[in-house]
Amino acid sequence: MKDTITIATRESALAMWQSEFVAAQIEAHTPFKTQLLPMTTEGDQRLEVTLNKIGGKGLFLKELEQAMLDGRADIAVHSMKDVPADLPADFQICAVFPRADESDAFVSNQFQQLAELPQGAVVGTSSLRRQAQLLAVRPDLTVKPLRGNVNSRLQKLDDGLYDAIILASAGLIRLGFDARINSRLTAPDWLPAVSQGAVGIECLHTDAELAAALQVLADEHTWQCVRAERALNLKLNGSCSVAIGALASYQPDDTIALKAGVFSPDGSRTITARQQGYDPVKLGGYVADDLLNQGAEEILALAD
């Protein structure tokens, strides 16, 4: 087997941080050396429209996957949140790392938390899930689109375009912006995106030897939780845009507890479900069925 693993990565500061983290883990815990292959993806370039209109989350992966198919790279590193539930058949997730902070962060230069925002305040996010949960508790707020990488989103807040913005805490922490988190929006009242806070390694299905060699890096409990959340997402047909929140947590009795919610874009309708079980894929399916029985399909269709 080769002795250097080439890691395809997006070029954003967050993606580079995650890939450098994975490279260091590989060098510390396996016999391999590593090198990075930074690439621009269509998802990074097309900031003008919402992602679901141009093909969804897969746009952050396609170029990296092509590099693996061409033999220019061996693995790709992703925020698992950006990995579609229906991964193309040629690929597998061969390891996920322990989940970091899965919460969303409330970030503002004037206010400490959501409840402090004045009537009609402007909050920045392009996530339908965040928008819907914001409006569910504060229908008076004005939600304005905010895309781009973590640094540019913070810059837009500092430029005065918003009273507050919502970002993933994990991304802020990884880039050293912990101090910008005014407060956290946390489960069970607020649900993160499927797989939020987890970093994973993708490789070719055919690369079984490499996948096996990287198993020493895999966090089994995080993987089970991520699988439960992804199974739920797949059953609800969670294209990246839909307002689905979910969080699975590993319990002391070795079960997984999964809570999930589906929200209408204007925040007026919310349905949630929660179950516990041993089999992550079945659990995700059961919670999805519960949501579907409560009318999830109709609510999700409102986002199209």
Ligand X SMILES: NCc1[nH]cc(CCC(=O)O)c1CC(=O)O
Interface residue list for ligand X (CB under 6 A):
79, 81-82, 150, 167-168, 170-171, 196-197
Q: Strand pairing of 75-79 and 199-204?
A: antiparallel
How far CA 260 is from CA of 96, 145, 226, 244, 298, in Å, comes to 21, 24, 13, 7, 16
Query: Smallest distance, Å, CB 259 to ligand X?
Result: 17
CA gap 96, 94 in Å, rounded = 7
Q: Which is nearer to ligand X, 3 or 159 (CB)?
A: 159
**Given the residues 74, 82, 101, 104, the one annotated as active site:** 82
Query: Smallest distance, Å, CB 126 to ligand X?
Result: 9
DSSP sequence for 196-235: TT-EEEEEETT-HHHHHHTGGG--HHHHHHHHHHHHHHHH
CA gap 15, 181 in Å, rounded = 20
- Of 30, 31, 41, which is closest to residue 8 (Cα–Cα)? 41
Q: Which is nearer to ligand X, 171 or 245 (CB)?
A: 171
Query: Smallest distance, Å, CB 94 to ligand X?
Result: 18
Q: Which is nearer to ligand X, 15 or 94 (CB)?
A: 15
Q: Which is nearer to ligand X, 61 or 271 (CB)?
A: 61
Is 304 among the catalytic positions? no
Query: Smallest distance, Å, CB 208 to ligand X?
Result: 27
Sign of CA dihedral 98, 134, 297, 256: positive
Catalytic residues: 82
